[in-house]
Amino acid sequence: MPSIDSLADRLSTYLAADQVNLVRRAYFYAEQAHDGQRRRSGEAYVTHPLAVANILADMHMDHQSLMAAMLHDVIEDTGIAKEALHAQFGETVAELVDGVSKLTQMDFQSKAEAQAENFQKMAMAMARDIRVILVKLADRLHNMRTLEVLSGEKRRRIAKETLEIYAPIANRLGMHSMRVEFEDLGFKAMHPMRSERIRTAVKRARGNRKEIVNKIEESLTACLQREGMEGVVIGREKHLYSIYQKMRGKRRAFNEIMDVYAFRIVVDKVDTCYRVLGAVHNLYKPLPGRFKDYIAIPKANGYQSLHTTLFGMHGVPIEIQIRTREMEELANNGIAAHWLYKSNEDEQPKGSHARARQWVKGILELQQRAGNSLEFIESVKIDLFPDEVYVFTPKGRIMELPKGSTAVDFAYAVHTDVGNSCIACRINRRLAPLSQALESGSTVEIVTAPGARPNPAWLNFVVTGKARTHIRHALKLQRRSESINLGERLLNKVLAGFGRHLDSLPVERIQAVLDEYRLELTEDLLEDIGLGNRMAYVVARRMLASEGEEPPSAQGPLAIRGTEGLVLSYAKCCTPIPGDPIVGHLSAGKGMVVHLDSCRNISEIRHNPEKCIQLNWAKDVAGEFNVELRVELEHQRGLIALLASSVNAADGNIEKISMDERDGRISVVQLVVSVHDRVHLARVIKKLRALTGVIRITRMRA
């Protein structure tokens, strides 16, 4: 085990003597705090914080991060408070330690909720200081290296969380070396047999490939020397988890994946990268469409490199990455390399560090908009998918989005208001569906309209966490205002039964009802009524109880306008349309569901004033309503076209059509037609009856 002295010697190569002493002091403090505590392996507990500090020392992290690493379990596992750390080591170190500490004092309903809440807390701390995540990643890495002592179930749970969250975060921050180790250790813990079999196969393949690898390496080195360019050629090994992912995802055999030979060429400056690219393309023929320039357009995590695939000797494919030494350092250590290269404390973050800041800022925005911690962590997981597409705004600005993103994702990436008011898009100057997946190099233009609102259907195809969170947030706000509106109408309708109105009731009486229901605002009560969580009839009785009045059991019907929005829906079992006699069923959480008066599904609760409410259609009812028709007619050529043109002639619209033949002579066609009201439906049916061969038309009700 490394000791504090050996760590101090390593730190003295890049930290000042007084900073090294502060790290020592933190170690001795942690040693005392964890005195008597042991790890599952039987070692003294302080060996863990020391190992975490060693991992950060490999990345050349600053002294405050190393001190936080030494103390990262003190708040959680000993009786020492954050304030005590603040007094001993200053505010920065105390905040870093607190950011990494779990919420142990709270009770959670499930493991998933506890994980989500803890990650949410850490995300907020990351926004204040990005080093929180680096300490946490180092802590997780040492825990993964020492997983063997835990039970199988616990090992798998920690490995799953590492593969789903911590490995993608390391990738998002450009920390390739850490990501690879997370993935291989996680893979080994999740699937020990698969991991072992692939490891054995790689060892065997490595022996067989040695000769070809050496030949390719020699020819690449000789090529650089001939062109008078300095560079180092390194054979690149694929790691076990990436082999496994390719075998599963692309359904490839192990031999197909290992047939590709991968090399990295590291040179001194950017200009040389492009010259080396020309030289290797002269040496071997490049594969069309396999060249990527991540130097001109870096990946979202700051990664820069030139990628090309060549036809080598005997037709073997060779993958080559060309990059500078600084790019190599940034590719392996990502954001941590920022501390290695920074010369000035006050310097503005740039490159991978600025990108990481931007990403964390986005995470904080998700956290503020998310409904709960589980919704938040789902959005973050979506956001951590590494593959990107690069698209352009009309002004030529490059936007990075996850693979599969649509114009709606792009709109929200530009600005929340653009996303919320988006109505259409142009991709490469042509109108396109909002759900179309974007491709790299496309120019995307968003068409907006004032007063437009997000569509709930967008949630079916958006990819980014930001878009999903903002759509949900906007829909919640819209639903709340519509619920309050409907709740007020329902309550006033009951109160109007004996000439009262909500505005005319004494404030104390309303407040007493709010206190009884443990609500703060009248709007909260009205929202509950609109959502069907409380019955207007019962609330009115409570409000009028002190006056000794009983609301009448029957009141005049409530008028439905068709513009009530998300809190009013039409039952699919009986598909009511304007003109039909209707009744409203108040369903908890959903609001009001409109049924036909004669619908069997509500026959048992039809006369219960707490569950159902009498409705009628307003004179100015708006919108289109779907009706299902069953048309029986003699089989003839062009049947579907005849039906469609008849419906169209009556200003109707066919939403869905299906046909099954009853026998060779008679066909039965199911039509879903959208109409304005019963009069409009009658016109459509009249047009259909006029067709020759029509035997019967029936309006369907489930």
Burial pattern 46-83, b for ≥16 Cβ within 10 A else e, equals bbbbbbbbbbbbebbbebbbbbbbbbbbbbeebebeee
Average pLDDT, the chain: 82
Q: In the prediction, which pLDDT does 447 show?
A: 92
> CA-to-CA distance for 328 and 265, rounded, in angstroms?
10
Verify that 172 and 78 share a domain, yes or no: yes
> CA-to-CA distance for 541 and 552, rounded, in angstroms?
10
Please give the average per-residue pLDDT across 295-306, as a whole number: 82
Question: Is-contact 272 247, C-beta < 8 A?
Answer: no
Catalytic, 76? Answer: yes
Instruction: Assign residue 659 the CATH number of its domain.
Output: 3.30.70.260
Please give the average per-residue pLDDT across 202-206, as a whole number: 81
Residue found by looking up tokens 């090529």 in the block: 223
Greater confidence (606 vs 126) lies with 606
Q: In the prediction, which pLDDT does 697 show?
A: 92
Q: In the prediction, which pLDDT does 1 show?
A: 61
Q: pLDDT-derived band of residue 272, with 50, 70 and 90 as boundaries?
A: very high
Map residue 57 onto helix, strand or coil: helix
User: Please, which residues bridge with residue 401 across strands?
Assistant: 389
> CA-to-CA distance for 683 and 679, rounded, in angstroms?
6
Verify that 146 and 19 share a domain, yes or no: yes
Verify that 211 and 79 share a domain, yes or no: no
- Cβ atoms within 10 Å of 657's Cβ, excluding its own: 15
Instruction: Compute the radius of gyration of the chain from its Cα atoms.
Output: 33
Catalytic, 77? Answer: yes
Instruction: Assign residue 34 the CATH number of its domain.
Output: 1.10.3210.10
Q: In the prediction, which pLDDT does 683 show?
A: 92
169 has a pLDDT exceeding 80: yes
Q: In the prediction, which pLDDT does 372 show?
A: 66
Q: In the prediction, which pLDDT does 379 show?
A: 65
Please check whether residue 348 lies inside any domain of the structure.
Answer: no
Write the secondary structure of 417-449 as one string of H (helix), E (strand) and C (coil).
Answer: HHHHCEEEEEECCEEECCCCECCCCCEEEEEEC
Name the nearest CA neighbour of 586 among 540, 543, 529. Answer: 529
Q: pLDDT-derived band of residue 266, with 50, 70 and 90 as boundaries?
A: very high
Q: What is the pLDDT of residues 315-368, one digit of tens each?
A: 788 889 999 988 888 877 777 665 544 434 444 555 666 666 666 667 666 666
Verify that 325 and 308 share a domain, yes or no: yes
Instruction: Assign residue 276 the CATH number of its domain.
Output: 3.30.460.10
Name the nearest CA neighbour of 44 among 73, 66, 21, 7. Answer: 73
Verify that 639 and 602 share a domain, yes or no: no
Please give the average per-residue pLDDT across 193-204, as a whole number: 88
Distances (CA, A) of 93 to 11, 23, 404: 18, 11, 41
Name the nearest CA neighbour of 75 among 92, 55, 98. Answer: 98
Verify that 307 and 213 share a domain, yes or no: yes
Question: Is-contact 281 308, C-beta < 8 A?
Answer: yes
User: Please, which residues bridge with residue 310 across strands?
Assistant: 286, 318
- Cβ atoms within 10 Å of 278's Cβ, excluding its own: 10
The one catalytic residue in 76, 164, 375, 628 is 76
Q: Which residues contact 693 (CB under 8 A, 6 or more apart)?
A: 633, 634, 636
User: Global pTM?
Assistant: 0.63
Q: In the prediction, which pLDDT does 444 show?
A: 92
User: 591-596 and 568-570 as β-strands: parallel, antiparallel, unpaired?
Assistant: parallel
Single-letter residue type at 649: A
Q: In the prediction, which pLDDT does 315 show?
A: 74
Please give the average per-residue pLDDT across 3-21, as a whole number: 88
25 has a pLDDT exceeding 70: yes
Please give the average per-residue pLDDT across 16-29, as a whole number: 91
Please check whether residue 635 lies inside any domain of the structure.
Answer: yes
Verify that 36 and 74 share a domain, yes or no: yes
> CA-to-CA distance for 607 and 109, rounded, in angstroms?
39
Q: In the prediction, which pLDDT does 308 show?
A: 92
The one catalytic residue in 43, 77, 326, 523 is 77
- Range from 338-342, 498-502, 528-532, 599-603 carrying the lowest mean pLDDT: 338-342
Verify that 269 and 162 share a domain, yes or no: no
386 has a pLDDT exceeding 60: no
Whole domain around residue 142: which residue ranges? Answer: 4-190
Q: In the prediction, which pLDDT does 536 show?
A: 75
Distances (CA, A) of 622 to 493, 669, 676: 22, 28, 8
Residue found by looking up tokens 């403090």 in the block: 29
Distances (CA, A) of 365 to 127, 170, 361, 376, 389: 10, 20, 6, 10, 22
> CA-to-CA distance for 305 and 308, rounded, in angstroms?
10
Q: In the prediction, which pLDDT does 186 show?
A: 93
Q: pLDDT-derived band of residue 407, with 50, 70 and 90 as boundaries?
A: very high
Please check whether residue 437 lies inside any domain of the structure.
Answer: no
Question: Is-contact 243 180, C-beta < 8 A?
Answer: no
Please check whether residue 450 lies inside any domain of the structure.
Answer: no
Please check whether residue 221 lies inside any domain of the structure.
Answer: yes
- Range from 225-239, 255-269, 335-349, 676-690 carrying the lowest mean pLDDT: 335-349
Please give the angle made by the CA atoms of 230, 235 and 236, to the nearest 5 degrees: 120
Q: What is the pLDDT of residues 57-87, one digit of tens each?
A: 888 888 998 999 999 888 887 778 888 888 8
Of the residues 175, 190, 205, the one at which a domain ends: 190
Verify that 666 and 544 share a domain, yes or no: no
Please check whether residue 445 lies inside any domain of the structure.
Answer: no
Verify that 200 and 91 share a domain, yes or no: no
Q: In the prediction, which pLDDT does 352 show?
A: 61
Number of domains in the chain: 4
Please give the average per-residue pLDDT across 377-393, as a whole number: 69
Verify that 185 and 287 share a domain, yes or no: no
> CA-to-CA distance for 406 and 442, rounded, in angstroms?
11
Q: What is the pLDDT of residues 42-62, one digit of tens each?
A: 888 889 999 999 998 888 888
What percent of the chain stands above pLDDT 70?
A: 85
| Greatest Cα-to-Cα distance within the chain, rounded to the nearest angstrom | 103
DSSP H helical ranges for 317-351: 325-333, 337-341
Q: In the prediction, which pLDDT does 529 show?
A: 80
Q: What is the pLDDT of residues 511-558, one digit of tens each?
A: 888 887 788 888 888 888 887 777 776 777 777 765 555 555 445 677
Of the residues 340, 358, 376, the one at which a domain ends: 340
> CA-to-CA distance for 702 and 699, rounded, in angstroms?
10
- Cβ atoms within 10 Å of 516's Cβ, excluding its own: 9
Greater confidence (431 vs 403) lies with 431
Please check whether residue 511 lies inside any domain of the structure.
Answer: yes
Verify that 167 and 246 share a domain, yes or no: no
237 has a pLDDT exceeding 70: yes
Please check whether residue 57 lies inside any domain of the structure.
Answer: yes
Of the residues 154, 170, 190, the one at which a domain ends: 190
Question: Is-contact 699 629, C-beta < 8 A?
Answer: yes
